[in-house]
Amino acid sequence: MTTPIESTHTQNVSHQVNAFIDGLKEAIVVSMAAAAEGIRLESEVARVMQRMGAYHAVLEGIESQKQALRDLLKQNRSAAEKESLRFQIKLLDQQTIAVLTRSGLSTEVAEQTVINQLPEPTRDDRGRFAKT
């Protein structure tokens, strides 16, 4: 037979155990929600990185085409040919602006980026960047 003191003690312990279990349940639920949110965020970051990689590849392709046209401009060409090459470069600049705006830049910033575009650094015969 239990005494009233033992019964009260048992009830207190039972209450504490139930409170502890409820706390664990809450912690598990919060941890699962945080993990799900983390997975969602990681997925979003991966998607954005993949998209930025695609934009980068397109921009590299455009720049490669522009460089080929610049190389042709350096050759002995007629005035009409040079004008045609410059026009093609301007069209490629417009493509670059379109890609940059599609990637999230404002039109003004994209245009300034193209206008202020620095030439590719030159390399020496060993593949090192040449001093300018």
In this predicted model, what pLDDT tens digit does every residue of 9-58 receive, in sequence order? Answer: 778 788 888 888 888 888 888 888 888 888 888 888 888 889 888 988 99
Let me know if 96 is exposed, middle or buried by CB neighbors in 10 A (0-12, 13-18, 19+): buried
Q: Provide the pLDDT confidence category of residue 72 given band limits of 50, 70 and 90.
A: very high
Q: The whole model's pTM is what?
A: 0.58
pLDDT of residue 89: 92
Spatial separation of the C-alpha atoms in residues 129 and 61, rounded to whole Å: 22
In angstroms, the CA 64 to CA 56 distance is 12
Is residue 68 domain-resident? Answer: yes
Residue 112 has pLDDT above 60, yes or no: yes
Q: Residue 33 has what DSSP assignment?
A: H
* Residue 91 confidence (pLDDT): 94
How far from 30 is each of 25, 44, 51, 72, CA to CA, in Å?
9, 21, 31, 63
90 pLDDT band (50/70/90 cuts)?
very high
- Domain of 24 in residue numbering reads as 13-115
127: left (phi over 0), alpha (psi -120 to 50) or beta: left
In total, how many domains does the chain have? 1
Judge whether 125 lies within some domain: no
